[in-house]
Amino acid sequence: MSSIIPGAMLGLLGGGQLGRMFTMAAQSIGYRVTVLDPAEECPAGSIAERHLCADYHDPTALHELSTTCAGVTTEFENVPADALQFLEQHCVVSPPARSVSIAQNRMLEKQFLAANGFSVAPFLAIKNNDDLSAEIETIFFPGILKVSQFGYDGKGQVRINASRELPNAFASLQQQPCVLEQLLPLGCEISVIVARGFDGEISLFPIAENQHVHGILDMSIVPARIPAEIAQQARKMAAEVAIKLDYCGVLCIEFFVLTDGRLLINEIAPRPHNSGHYTLDACITSQFEQQVRILCRLPQGSTALLTPVVMVNLLGDLWQSGEPAWSKVLRNPNAKLHLYGKCGARPGRKMGHFTVLADTVEQALQQAEAIKVSLKNR
């Protein structure tokens, strides 16, 4: 099949910050973008050529996308897989509806990974109260109860010490279908962004070491400070997941590195990912540009890292006493500031990020930490 030529209109389901960065990458190669997002104001909608303000199921909006766009992609995994399925019948779609339907459901995702021989945390399906009355093995405690769908940034999760706490925890999650997972001793967390083209060509971005605070990504350190064997194993597993999923597009695989050195897959995200934002400033090709290239059947770009980098998320908490003083970031000439144009800073809301580029990862980390501290101390 031939490529989608610059100048063409691309469709995007979801108008958040990932969509905004995809739109910028698409526009810089000369494409135009139509965003479908039910929110009147959204980070991608405000910069795209068109914004269809409608529900993701809306038949008129989906018809409009399918007839005016040469290719369609998505920026968040909770987009209804049936919307993607509909679009697949009319235009090029990346990622495929089937992969998205697996990755957007924690239970299906874990079953898929386990069935294909990938190591994951011991898990158990908790679909209803009957599942709670059965005796639950002690290996699951302490554990984490996670909703199967629509959880993100640590939301929809409850930590549990013993089985007697399960009924209350399940009730607090509105008795939605859940996965109970053993709480693991984490040495660190890493992620691999893998890109796979319609022709099966695979490229892997450098591994990020991710630090979370209250379940939300706080910082990504690249390259990850892990032994070479673990890095190699993670790259191999990431490529295998993309192949087994028959994936097309950019995919993120989150891993746990346990204190005993074992490598487990935590979860997969069928889209560019927060832990890959560093690629905008520190790689020859960003994760967003790679998604544009794959969707448009252009050759993939090099994922080579130009310099060590640390990415720090900017959450709404920082806005408590008004707009932060951005000079604290920008006065470091090796720092890059990215703001998503969101109005309404709320605690925990991702408003932007910054990166620091340096000759060594230690220097990047030290400078990023210093900027973080200065932003908090007004």
For ligand ADP, the nearest residue by Cβ is 184
Please, which residue, 122 or 341, has the CB nearer to ligand ADP? 122
Nearer to ligand ADP, 178 or 280 (CB): 178
Closer of 6 and 122 to ligand ADP (Cβ): 122
- Minimum CB separation of residue 258 from ligand ADP in Å reads 9
Torsion of CA 254, 256, 257, 258, to 10 degrees: 180
Identify the DSSP state of 201. Answer: -
Nearer to ligand ADP, 214 or 376 (CB): 214
Tokens of 80: 């209804």
Dist. CA 328–CA 374, nearest whole Å: 7
The two three-digit tokens of residue 274, written as one number: 């927060």
Which residues, other chains included, contact 26 with Cβ-Cβ below 8 Å and sequence gap of 6+?
10, 32, 33, 292
Q: Which is nearer to ligand ADP, 28 or 150 (CB)?
A: 150
Q: Does 266 bind ligand ADP (CB under 6 A)?
A: yes
Crossing angle of helices 17-28 and 287-295, in 10° steps, is: 60
Q: Is residue 356 at the binding interface for ligand ADP, with CB under 6 A as the rule?
A: no
Per-residue contact string for residues 129-168; x = within reach of ligand ADP by CB under 6 A: ---------------x-x----xxxx--------------
Q: Least distance to ligand ADP from the beta carbon of 264, Å?
A: 9
Binding flags for ligand ADP, 228-257, as an x/- string (CB under 6 A)? --------------------------x---
Q: Which is nearer to ligand ADP, 131 or 218 (CB)?
A: 218
First-to-last C-alpha distance (Å) of the chain: 55
Q: Which is nearer to ligand ADP, 81 or 121 (CB)?
A: 121
Contact between 122 and ligand ADP by CB under 6 A: the answer reads no
Please give the Cα distance from 4 to 25 (Å, whole number).
15
Distance of CA 256 to the CA centre of its chain: 15
Find the shortest distance in angstroms from Cβ 256 to ligand ADP. Answer: 7
Alpha helices in the chain (DSSP H): 17-28, 59-68, 81-88, 97-103, 106-115, 129-133, 166-172, 228-244, 279-282, 287-295, 327-330, 361-376
Smallest gap from residue 319 Cβ to ligand ADP (A) = 22
Quick one: 220 or 266, whose CB is closer to ligand ADP? 266
Q: Could you give the CA distance from residue 241 to residue 244 in angstroms, rounded to a whole number?
A: 5
Contact characters 165-204, ligand ADP, x per CB under 6 A: ----------------xxxx-x--x---------------
| β 309-315/263-269 pair status | unpaired
Residues 215, 223, 301, 341: which binds ligand ADP (CB under 6 A)? 215
Burial of residue 95, with CB atoms counted within 10 A of its CB: 0-12 exposed, 13-18 middle, 19 or more buried: buried
212: contact with ligand ADP by CB under 6 A: yes
Residue numbers at the binding site for ligand ADP (CB under 6 A): 121, 144, 146, 151-154, 181-184, 186, 189, 212, 215, 254, 266-267
